[in-house]
Amino acid sequence: MVCNDEVVMVLETKENPVVWKHFDLCLMTDSHEMKRCKACGKFMKATANSTLKKYTDRHCPVTKAKKNEVGVASGTGSSNV
């Protein structure tokens, strides 16, 4: 999702800390709230913690790259044997 608004401030949240350590809750110039991935900077309108967690686990290009690096370094990456 492309967001043309700018962040006015980052708000605090008491939501699930396991999920929210990866996201900022941002108040935008047009007074609505968006979630911003701390790793890649993508803005989302998602309201459910499960949607945010799924993004972090499966779709964020930064966290996916980190998981692949860890998998290759530890020898747990896929191999074609």
pLDDT at 81: 45
pLDDT tens for each residue of 36-66? 999 999 999 988 999 999 999 999 999 888 8
- Count of C-beta atoms within a 10 Å radius of residue 40: 16
Read off the tokens for 70: 């860890």
Does residue 33 lie in a domain region? yes
Which domain, by its residues, includes 27?
7-73
Residues 6+ apart with CB under 8 A from 10: 24, 25, 26, 27
Whole-structure pTM value? 0.76
pLDDT tens for each residue of 2-29? 556 899 999 999 999 999 999 999 999 9
Task: List the end-to-end C-alpha distance of the chain, in Å, as a whole number.
Answer: 40
Mean pLDDT (the chain) is: 86
Does residue 1 lie in a domain region? no
For residues 73 and 69, which has the higher predicted lDDT (pLDDT)? 69
Total domain count, the chain: 1
Please report, rounded to a whole number, the percentage of residues in the chain having pLDDT higher than 90.
68
Does residue 23 lie in a domain region? yes
